[in-house]
Every structure is written in structure tokens, then in C-alpha cells.
Structure 1
Amino acid sequence: SDEFRMVRTQPIVFSPLDPHLLFFATNCLWQTRDGGQNWTQLSPDLTRKTYEIPASVGNFRARPTAQPRQRGVIYTIAPSPLEKSRIWAGTDDGLIHLTTDGGRNWTNVTPPQIGAWWKISLLEASHFDKSTAYAAVNTIRLDDLRPHIYRTNDAGKSWKEIVQGIPPNENVNAVREDPRRRGLLFAGTERAVYVSFDDGENWRSLRLNMPATSVRDLIVKDDDIAVATHGRGFWILDNITPLRQLGASSQQTLLFKPQTAVRVHWNFNTDTPLPPDEPAGENPPEGAMIDYSLGEDAAGPVTLEIKDEQGNVVRRYASTDPLPSPDPKLKIPRYWVRPPRVLSDKPGLHRFLWNMHAAPLPEAEREYPMTAITHETAPQPTGPWMPPGEYSVSLTTGGKTLSQPLTLKMDPRVTASTADLAKQFELSKALFQMRAALQPIGKSYDALVAELTKAKERAAGKSELEPIEALRKKMEEFADPAAIRAGQPPELDVLSKVKKLFGDLQAVDAAPTPQQEAAVSSLQRDTQSVTEKWRALPAN
């Protein structure tokens, strides 16, 4: 109708204090409590009645359609997260209003320098002070590409422009406050995301790997930032807990307190990944995120240790760890494979990921799952999942050790009890120890079987063939009889069974079955028997 106006970008916002209260705006503010079936008007027309046509519209000023008329709409709504009746509203023709009584009375609190063609792009009500708010103001319609962000600490009586550090040619579309750390702000401009650690007094780029694109809005969700762009989709910055901790210490070398890690099976796909040219989103990093910062004065190698509640080291990394060589037996495309994770010893801020597994078996052959993801397919872990609980992280460099607690929680969808998961870990650890004992035997076994095959081909007569056949028969005692009957090359049967049962136990988050418990006990006896038989073989 002529009475109510709206544009294609319409604000619709839930109250942060009432999940049933939804706000919507035309040139007036509205609310509903029944999912939009009925609406109540909360404000009069909050837009400008008159205004001047700016020079930036050029020859268009002379056209009849350009003559002044009331045209504005409420473009942004910011209900206070501290006081239900306090609501901020900003219009696309440069006005900011505030109500402190749920809409019965409105006060014009617009900064005096803001004019009719300044768009109040986004308002943010503070999570810490009911009288504080932030305004992102866009002036592109005036051919003014400068950034404009304003802050009030006295309910709009006065405003301060806070854009130091944002380049002069980047209009601002959005400003948001971190709901957990006071003074930590984020801004979205026509090119990037910016961060401020001092309530907007100074800004620095947080673009990282984002393309240069128009950032229209952003929001802090738990420990992540979700960003909406114009033309480049959605982007998420995972785990901003280090940003919340920056500034709390003057030291350059820091180990940040990690966020709670959730143990979750990352991928249950049963096929190959999407083609590289297929547009698709990117998963968040897999594992517990450990962030640290090294100063210019950091000296020597860097080590990182994960310890359980008893202080036992369950995983250790070092910047001197050698990079694994390319797998010569790789049976999948190389672009599927996740690049090795390296603990950096370079100055700056770093993020390292622990996969929440115990240390792997050294020199174990790398096996890759069918559940492949482009550039993120890691070898199957040979160490078991660590159970949920309390751990600690220790970073050592230059003879100095820093420590932080780390909580590992279970996937909330899992119904297995703590005792169930402890039993799973106990059995998996037993199988891990069996595999560690059997692995050198398995390598020797495979090498000997291969050598016997070559020797049989070289044998000149019966006298040379008989001892080879006798030893080959001896090797078959260690192999799966069914595989031998099927004509397959013999392999160490007990090692194959240990690996298979370990994989079965680790594939699900559930209590081990009685049959699995019995199988572990049986394999322990078989491992002991095979080890003794192997040692009894003649050295030659």
C-alpha cells in the first residue's frame, strides 16, 4: 500500500531474549508472536519526511521521478540482548531511532553528521552495556567510498566514528560485536572482513584466504564467524577463541586455551569424492584445534605434547619431525590426499590439529579409506580414538613450556556410556599392542614369502626345490587356510585379523559386543603363539 513501503532487502530479526518474538520492518516496525499470523505495529513511520537531492545522481536530478518524496524504509533492526523493551532501528535514508519501552515511544538519536542519503546498513546492540550500540553506515550513493562506523556509549546522545585501520576506499556494510569478549568487534566491508580488539579504536584485516568480495553481513555463532557475501557465497572462520584471548598477555610466545574438542566420525561416505570442478562447500578442520603464537625471539625446535589426566603422553609432535615421503603404493589420485600436518617453528600465529587418536604405529603401511574427500583424505589412523575426558596440551620452545587444559567431548548424538567407551578404548589399545608386536613379524613374513617365490623360480632341480617347498609349507602354517585354498598369496593371518577387529571396534561409538571381547582374548593367545613359533624358526 502507499502507507507502508519496503525494499527487496527486508530486515527480519528474532528477539535475542524471546524465541517467539519476531520483528519485521517496512517504513514502520512490526512484531509477531504467532509465526506471522498476526502482526502488531510498534512504530510510526521512522523515515525522513523531506530531503535534498544530492549532486551524485547527476542529470537524474532534473527528472520528475527524482523530485523529493518520502521514500525511506527501516533497513536494520537491533533488539537489545540485555533488555527486552530496548530496540534500535536504522533507516536507509540516514536515521537512527531508539525505543526503551517496547515501541511506545521513540527517540531520534541520529549522529548529526549523517544525512538523507547515508544508509544505516546495520545496527548492533551491545551484549555488555545496554547503552552501547554500533552503526555501520554506507555512503556509496553519494559517491563516498570511505568507511563509516559509529559507536555510542550513552544510548545515542553522542556518537564517535571508529574506522582507524580500514582503508579509505572500503564502504562498510556490517559491524558485529563478539558476545563473549567485550571490545572484540568485526566489520564487513566491500572487500574484506576486519577485526578490532579495542572496541573499534583500531582495525586490522581478517581477510585471510577469502576472495576480495562484498561482505554484506556476518554473525558470531558460538566460536565461529559466519560471513554472507554478495556473489561469493557463505564463508565461515572456524574457532575464533584465539582472537578472544589476544591482548590478554604482552608475551609474544603464547599457547591459547583450546576450545572444547568434539570426537566425531568425520565422514561416513562410501564412495569417491565429488569431481574437483563440482562446486561444493568445505568441511571445518578435523580434529582438536591447537593455536599458538611464536615471537621473533623463539629459539630452537618446537614440541607439542598431549597428555591424559594421569599425565601420560598420548601424542607428541615436534617441528623437527620428518615429512612422510610420498606413498609409492598409493592407489588413489594424489589430489585426494591430505597434505601432511607440520608443527611450525616460524614466528607468527599457527593452528595445529590433533586427530584425537593415540600415536600411530611407526612405519606402518599407509592405508586410505574409501570415504574420500578431495585434498582431505588422511590415512586410516593406526592408533585408537582417545576416550572423552580432560587432557592437557604442552608447548615447549627455547627451554620454556606453556600448558593449557583441553576437554574432549563425545559427539552429542552418541548414546554410548562413558564405561562403554572406556571398554572400547581398552580393547582397541590391546589390539594396537598386538599389532605393534606382530608388525615386524608381518614384514619379515611378507619378505620371506616373496623371496621363496623368487627362489622357487631360480631352483635348478629337485635338490634345491625340496627345502624351498618345505619352508613354503611352514609359512602356510601362519596364513589363512581359506586364502591358501583360494590361491591367494599367503599373509600373516593373525595380523590380518587384529587389523580387521581393530577397524571394526573403531568404526562405531558403541559398547563392544561379547563376541568382540572374546575375539580380542583369542587373538591375544594367537599373537603369543605366533610370536613364539616365529622365534623358533631357524635363523637361516
Structure 2
Amino acid sequence: MNAFVWNLHHPAVDQPDDLFVWGYVGGPKAVPGTYRVRLTAGGRSVTRPFQVRIDPRLEGVGLPDLEEQLELATAVRDTMNSIYDAVRTLRDLRRQVEDVSARLREPPTRRGEGTAGDQSVATAADSLVQAFTALEKELVQPRIESSQDVDNFSPQLDNEYAHLYGVVATPDARPTSGSYERFDDLNREWAALRRRYRSLLQEEVPAFNRTLEAAGVRPVWAR
């Protein structure tokens, strides 16, 4: 018999596989209410309603409290996902730029591309790689590979969000005013870093591609 067990949580944080996050990365808890489950097999679908009920052991906590918790927890999770989307894009672009730089160091007969302005391209590539890496290191801390590494390497913005996420999402309680204040503080940090990220994508990468075009080299793209 096949079975599916729902853990009564919404989707978790979509973090890169190689990042260790010192904090909560699961999904926000589902609030009490009516839900529907659909099973599709053999070209047929069957839908059934079911109830998620509030834990009767909870005291002084009502549905409005849990709904507010879900709203803030979801906002924190979605912000973390935005950071990780940016990290994936930065890493992909960096790989592309590094590939361009590596090709330019090969003999022209091997790389199959023009040689005009190779030095200017290499210089621009090095500068862009440094910019990608510097921004990534402010968003995440790739050197943390276990809980013990937290003592040696400073956690970055994603871990700050993850800590807040655990404070908000794990108890059965309305978020505190301190959690909202911390979220606002972190969002200001993310807004500043996001402006740098967008500047890289909207200004620096197109400028680099113009340098590539002038040198007869294929452009790089944010996928």
C-alpha cells in the first residue's frame, strides 16, 4: 500500500545543497482549518476534505495568533528564498565569467574566438568575479560546513534570517514585537544588498557583455 504523510507544514526553505544554515529551514506550520487532499492515479482524481484542529493542550493561543504566526513565518521564509535565488544567480554568472577568462588564456587556435581586446576582457572578468564573490560572502557563509564552524566563521545574512525564522515559526504563539522589529532590521540590510545585486545584473553584466562583444567573445547571461 502506498501512503503519503503530511507533516502539517508548508514548503521549507529552498536552500542550496552545499550551504550549512545554522537555524531553522523547515516550513511554516499549517494553521487549523479545512484542507483538501487530491489523489491522482490511472487518469482519475479523487478529492477529499479534512480538518486540521488546534492542539487542545494550548492555553491562551487562538486561531488569529497562529494565522499571524504563519503570515510572518512565510514572509521570512520567502525572503530567505529570495536571498538563495540571488546566490544561485551570482554563482552561475561567476562560473560563466570564469569560463570566459579561462578560454582567453588558451591559444587562439583552441578557443575558436577573436583575440581583440583580450586583456581588457580579462581585466573586466577579474573585476566582475571579485564583485560576485564579495556580494555572495555578505549574503551567505560558504565556509560553514557544520555547527562547530559557527565559532570560526561569522554567519551572514541568511543565517540571521534563519535564526529569526526559528524564533517565529517553531513555537505555537503569536510573533512578538521584537520579531517584527528584527525582521525590519534584516530587511533593511537585504534591501541594500539587493540594490548591489540588481546593479550587478542590470549595469555591470551588460557592460561586461559589451566588452565581450567588442572582443568577439560570446556574452554571459543570468539564467
TM-score normalised by L of structure 1: 0.26
Higher relative contact order (CA 8 A, sep 6+): 2
- The structure with more helix, counted as a fraction of residues: 2
Question: Percent identical across equivalent pairs?
Answer: 21
Q: 1:366 to 1:400 in 2, by over 3 A?
A: farther
2:9 corresponds to 1:357: yes
- Following TM superposition, by how much is the alpha carbon of 1:429 offset from its aligned partner in structure 2, in angstroms? 0.7
| Candidates 391, 397, 402, aligned match of 2:35 | 391
1:419 to 58, 64, 68: 64
**1:532 counterpart = 2:195:** yes
> For residues 197 and 21 of structure 2, what CA distance do their matches in structure 1 show?
31
Q: Which moved more, 1:357-366 or 1:409-418?
A: 357-366
Mapped partners of 1:366, 1:406: distance in 2: 37
Number of aligned residues:
167
Partner of 1:406: 50
For residue 31 of structure 2, give the secondary structure of its aligned residue in structure 1.
coil
Aligned to 2:218: none
Q: 1:396 to 1:366 in 2, by over 3 A?
A: farther
Residues 76 and 161 in structure 2, CA contact (< 8 A), matched pair in contact too: yes
Amino acid of the structure 1 residue aligned with 2:58: V
The answer to whether the aligner puts 1:434 opposite 2:79 as a matched pair is yes
Judging changes above 3 Å, is the alpha-carbon distance between structure 1 residues 504 and 365 closer, same or farther for their aligned structure 2 residues?
Answer: farther
In structure 1, distance between residues paired with 2:9 and 2:37: 14
Deviation at 1:478, TM superposition (A): 2.9
Partner of 1:382: 26
Maintained 8 Å contact 1:479/1:490: no
The structural deviation recorded for 1:472 is: 8.3
Structure 1 letter corresponding to 2:5: L
The structure whose residues are more often strand, as a share, is: 1
**TM-aligned CA deviation for residue 502 of structure 1:** 1.0
Gaps of 5+ in 2: 102-122, 144-149, 209-223
Assess if the C-alpha contact under 8 Å between 2:135 and 2:193 holds in 1: no
Specify the SS of the correspondent of 1:420. helix
1:353 Cα deviation from its structure 2 partner: 0.3
Q: Which residue of 1 aligns with 2:160?
A: 497
- Write the letter of the residue equivalent to 1:501: L
| Partner in structure 1 of residue 109 of structure 2 | none
Partner of 1:478: 138
Q: Return the index of the structure with the highest Cα Rg.
A: 1
d(CA) in 1 for partners of 2:198, 2:188:
16
- Output one character per residue of 1:101-134: Cα deviation in whole Å (capped at 9) or x when no partner: xxxxxxxxxxxxxxxxxxxxxxxxxxxxxxxxxx
SS in 1 for 2:2: strand
Which structure 1 segments of 5+ residues have no match?
A: 1-348, 371-379, 456-463
Counterpart in 1 of 2:211?
none
Describe the SS at the equivalent of 1:404. strand
What residue identity is the alignment partner of 1:395?
L
Q: Which AA in structure 2 matches 1:430? A: A
